[in-house]
C-alpha cells in the first residue's frame, strides 16, 4: 500500500492500518448526512465501493462522489459509501444539490472508526486521504488504491474494471 503521499506536493504522514487486497474489510461506524448512525456491517452481502477524501467541498472530491454515483447506478446489490471528515450538514447539502442518490455519504468525525480501523488519516491535516476500496459480497477487499498525490483523481477505470469482474 502507498504510504508515501503528498498534499499539494508536501509530504504528509498517514496512519496505515495495513489493509490490503485479499483482507476482510474491518467494521466501522460513521454518521450519515441525516445525522443517523451508519454501520458498514449493514451492507455486508453487497459489493461495496468505498471512496475516502479530504472534503466534499473540493473539486476532485466532488467529482469522485458524482462519478461513482453515476457509474454504478445500474448495478444491483452494490452500494457506494463515501467517507470524509466533513460534517453531515455539508454532506447533506452537497448530495441534495447534486442529486446523489446511489451513494451513501458518511462522516468519520464522531466515531473515527474508519480512521482507526481502516486508515488513511493524514495527521498534519486531520483529514482522510483519497482512497478507493472495492469489497466483494463476501467482505473481501478486491481493490485498494491510495492516491499518491491527494489532489489527483483516483484511477476510476481500474476500480470500475474490478467492479465489472465481480458481476
Q: Which residues are part of the catalytic machinery?
A: 61
Task: Give the Cα separation of 153 and 130 in Å (integer).
Answer: 8
User: Cα–Cα–Cα angle for 127, 101, 139, nearest 5°?
Assistant: 65
Residue 135 cell numbers, joined: 469489497
SS3 10: strand
Which secondary-structure segment (H or E) carries 18? none
Amino acid at each position: 500500500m502507498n504510504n508515501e503521499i503528498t498534499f499539494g506536493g508536501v509530504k504528509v504522514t498517514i496512519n496505515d492500518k495495513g489493509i490490503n487486497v485479499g483482507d476482510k474489510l474491518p467494521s466501522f461506524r460513521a454518521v450519515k448526512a441525516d445525522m443517523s448512525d451508519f454501520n458498514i456491517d449493514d451492507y455486508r452481502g453487497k459489493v461495496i465501493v468505498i471512496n475516502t477524501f479530504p472534503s466534499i467541498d473540493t473539486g476532485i472530491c466532488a467529482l469522485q462522489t458524482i462519478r461513482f454515483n453515476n457509474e454504478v447506478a445500474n448495478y444491483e446489490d452494490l452500494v457506494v459509501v463515501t467517507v470524509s471528515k466533513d460534517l453531515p450538514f455539508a454532506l447533506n447539502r452537497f448530495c441534495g444539490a447534486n442529486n446523489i442518490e446511489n451513494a451513501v455519504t458518511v462522516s468519520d468525525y464522531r466515531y473515527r472508526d474508519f480512521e482507526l480501523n481502516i486508515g488513511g488519516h493524514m495527521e498534519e491535516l486531520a483529514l482522510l486521504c483519497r482512497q478507493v476500496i472495492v469489497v466483494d459480497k463476501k467482505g473481501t477487499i478486491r481493490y485498494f488504491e491510495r492516491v499518491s498525490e491527494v489532489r489527483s483523481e483516483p484511477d476510476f477505470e481500474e476500480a470500475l474494471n474490478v467492479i465489472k469482474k465481480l458481476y
